[in-house]
Amino acid sequence: MKKHLLSAGIACAGLPLVVLAATPADAAIRWSSRSSEQTAEATFQIVGALDGAPGNVHRGSVYASSPGSVSGYSEDWTCPEGELPPYWGDEPIPVEGGGGIGTPGEPVPPEPMPETNCVFEGGHDFWSDAADVTISRKLASATVRGTVEVSSWSDGAEEPTTSTAVVDLTFTGEGATSTTTEYSRGKGYVYKYETTERAATVSGESAGIALDGVTDSSATLRTTKSYERYVSK
């Protein structure tokens, strides 16, 4: 089984704007950078049978970034009634330049799987950099549409199988937005990082899984903005 790094959401990303000012040797060096990103993400868990999928517990997440990046995963488990599968990561994490266990560059050993009566049946990773991701400025809504590449595996399989699937999701913001700000300032330096979030509901299809009416789910729409300025004399 693979470890999934996502992060279940959908987004809008802007390239950083960097401004450099060339000055005489005795003048100040000025540098500034601005960037912004909008994302949408969702996680879900479905208990019960799904058409075309093994097992009786199905969970996953989806993450999108405007204007066109989307990724996600889903996994299938068979569990005794009243039990749910564990959450854990089992893929070694590469270590570059040391800092891990053993010699530099040696991967960190996988985490042992927690004890469970559930049986892992298989799962799917999916991704695309050519989707259509649209998020409203005030985080009132978002849509994610496109065809994604899918890598599927089952427990004990040596190689995954590949296919394509459709992602067609609609996010609807709920309640008010909340904003948090990180700010630091020193001699010649200013840094500001602002995050605005809004809870949301999600409906539609995530790589073959219908999310309409799924009650065990959560979704978030998010905007992040950063600004840095440096002046050196």
The percent of residues above 70 in pLDDT, for the chain, comes to 76
How many domains does the structure of the chain reveal? 1
Per the domain annotation, does 2 fall within a domain?
no
Structure tokens at 82: 């009243």
Q: How confident is the model at residue 40 (pLDDT cuts 50, 70, 90)?
A: very high
Per the domain annotation, does 105 fall within a domain?
no
CA distances for 177 relative to 93, 138, 174, angstroms: 35, 8, 9
Residues 55-82: tens digit of each pLDDT:
999 999 999 999 999 999 999 999 999 9
Model confidence at 96: pLDDT above 60:
no
Residue 27's pLDDT is: 61
Residues 115-151: tens digit of each pLDDT:
889 998 999 999 999 999 999 999 999 999 999 999 9
What is the spatial distance between Cα 8 and Cα 11, in angstroms, rounded to a whole number? 11
Q: What is the DSSP string of the chain?
A: -----S-SEEEEE---EEEEE---TTSPEEEEEEEEEEEEEEEEEEES-BTTB-SSEEEEEEEEETTTEEEEEEEEEE--TT--------SPBP-SSSSSSSSTTPPBPPPPPPP-S-EEEEEEEEEESS-EEEE-TTSSEEEEEEEEEEEEEETT-SS-EEEEEEEEEEEEE-S--EEEEEEEEETTEEEEEEEEEEEEEEEEEETTEE-TT--SEEEEEEEEEEEEEEEE-
Residue 222's pLDDT is: 98
**Average per-residue pLDDT for the chain:** 82
Residue 1's pLDDT is: 46
Average pLDDT over residues 20-25: 50
Per the domain annotation, does 52 fall within a domain?
yes
Per the domain annotation, does 17 fall within a domain?
yes
Range of the domain at 16: 9-83+118-232
Q: How confident is the model at residue 94 (pLDDT cuts 50, 70, 90)?
A: very low
- 12 or 219: whose pLDDT is higher? 219
Structure tokens at 42: 């969702």
CB-based contacts of 152, cutoff 8 Å, min separation 6: 122, 123, 124, 160, 161, 162, 163
Residue 26's pLDDT is: 52
Per the domain annotation, does 156 fall within a domain?
yes
Per the domain annotation, does 185 fall within a domain?
yes
Per the domain annotation, does 93 fall within a domain?
no
Residues 142-194: tens digit of each pLDDT:
999 999 999 998 777 778 899 999 999 999 999 999 999 999 999 889 999 99
Residue 44's pLDDT is: 95
Model confidence at 90: pLDDT above 50:
no
